[in-house]
């Protein structure tokens, strides 16, 4: 899918209180701001018109806008995040999505869903059942997708925060994936580039208008991608990695 627009939210000084399982220390706010600004510049250079939302102090994870909405060509679906501290982020994103989308749908209790668990591959939606996304949330999403003529399928997530922590679609029928998913039967119809076990964070990459954005510093993955013919853009996101945020989590693209 080609994109023309993106929505991001600037990080807040409260970022250091973001949910995390990573043992990488606290994020340095000023560095996070610089990295976020370069991320936005990269999206713009790749052709996107970027709407930058102001930081939200009460919600330390609100910079990870990808989790609170799934954007399809036909509608925006506002999620019900699985982490209690993130549920209020949906009210923050709602007005801006209503300004861009005529159709806005909702995931509601008792279902939970983080859109970081949803990967779109050529019009099909794969939904990870994870600690954040429940089977009930996934079923609600599948029913919404059906209303718009779209299909959704569930996939269990054993490791990593979200499904997209471990798998990304790069176009040309090709996935970048960790070993957990490279052998999964549901993905066998795709060519799979398996990330090295020391570089699993790089499995969360972003295809933007023909280029692949990857987190900076994962040299083996960059080599693999370039060898496979992809044009790669490295972006530093180390401060977001410290709070379990991936490259894709920092934007909504449409």
The whole-angstrom separation of Cα 118 and Cα 137 is 11
Per DSSP, helices labelled H in the chain are 29-45, 89-100, 135-147, 179-182, 219-227, 238-241
In the set 36, 162, 220, 227, the catalytic residue is 162
Q: Residue with CB nearest ligand GLY?
A: 19
Q: Of 1, 19, 50, 121, which one interacts with ligand GLY (CB under 6 A)?
A: 19
Residue 213 CB, nearest distance to ligand GLY (Å)? 19
Answer yes or no: are the C-beta atoms of 246 and 164 closer than 8 Å.
yes
Interactions with ligand GLY, residue window 84-103 (CB under 6 A): 86
215 binding ligand GLY? (CB under 6 A): no
- Let me know if 249 is a catalytic residue: yes
Q: Of 3, 39, 64, 254, which one interacts with ligand GLY (CB under 6 A)?
A: 64
Q: What beta strand segments (E) does the chain contain?
A: 5-9, 49-53, 69-71, 76-78, 104-106, 118-121, 124-129, 151-156, 167-169, 174-177, 191-194, 206-208, 211-215, 231-235, 252-253
- CA angle 93–94–100, rounded 5-degree value: 95
Q: Of 76, 115, 192, 243, which one interacts with ligand GLY (CB under 6 A)?
A: 243
Q: Of 93, 245, 248, 250, which one interacts with ligand GLY (CB under 6 A)?
A: 245
Residue 132 CB, nearest distance to ligand GLY (Å)? 7
* Distance, C-alpha 38 to centroid of its chain: 18
Nearer to ligand GLY by Cβ, of 62 and 145: the residue is 62
Q: Of 11, 18, 27, 215, which one interacts with ligand GLY (CB under 6 A)?
A: 18
Interactions with ligand GLY, residue window 150-189 (CB under 6 A): 161
Residue 165 CB, nearest distance to ligand GLY (Å)? 10
The whole-angstrom separation of Cα 5 and Cα 76 is 14
- Let me know if 162 is a catalytic residue: yes
Answer yes or no: are the C-beta atoms of 112 and 81 closer than 8 Å.
yes
Residue 244 CB, nearest distance to ligand GLY (Å)? 4
Residues near 201 by beta carbon (within 8 Å), at least 6 away in sequence: 165, 215, 218, 241, 246
Q: What is the largest CA-CA distance in the chain?
A: 45
244 binding ligand GLY? (CB under 6 A): yes
20 binding ligand GLY? (CB under 6 A): yes
- Chain residues binding ligand GLY by CB under 6 A are 18-20, 61, 64, 67, 83, 86, 161, 243-245
Residues marked as catalytic:
162, 249
């Amino acid at each position: 899918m080609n994109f023309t627009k993106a929505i991001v939210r600037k990080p807040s000084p409260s970022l250091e209180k973001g949910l995390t399982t990573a043992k990488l220390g606290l994020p340095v706010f000023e560095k996070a701001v610089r990295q976020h600004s370069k991320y936005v510049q990269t999206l713009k250079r790749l052709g996107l018109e970027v709407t930058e939302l102001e930081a939200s102090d009460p919600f330390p994870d609100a910079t990870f806008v990808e989790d609170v909405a799934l954007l399809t060509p036909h509608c925006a679906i506002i999620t019900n995040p699985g982490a209690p501290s993130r549920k209020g982020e949906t009210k923050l994103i709602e007005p801006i999505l209503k300004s861009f989308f005529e159709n806005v749908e909702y995931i509601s209790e008792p279902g939970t869903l983080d859109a970081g668990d949803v990967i779109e591959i050529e019009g099909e939606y794969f939904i990870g059942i994870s600690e954040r996304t429940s089977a009930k949330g996934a079923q609600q999403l599948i029913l919404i997708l059906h209303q718009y003529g779209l299909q959704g399928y569930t996939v269990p997530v054993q490791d990593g925060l979200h499904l997209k922590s471990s798998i990304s679609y790069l176009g040309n029928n090709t996935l970048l994936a960790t070993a957990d998913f490279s052998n999964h039967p549901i993905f066998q119809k795709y060519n799979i580039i398996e990330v090295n076990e020391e570089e699993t964070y790089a499995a969360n990459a972003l295809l933007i208008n023909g280029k692949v954005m990857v987190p900076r510093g994962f040299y083996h993955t960059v080599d693999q991608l370039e060898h496979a013919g992809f044009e790669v853009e490295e972006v530093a996101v180390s401060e977001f990695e410290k709070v379990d945020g991936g490259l894709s989590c920092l934007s909504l693209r449409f």
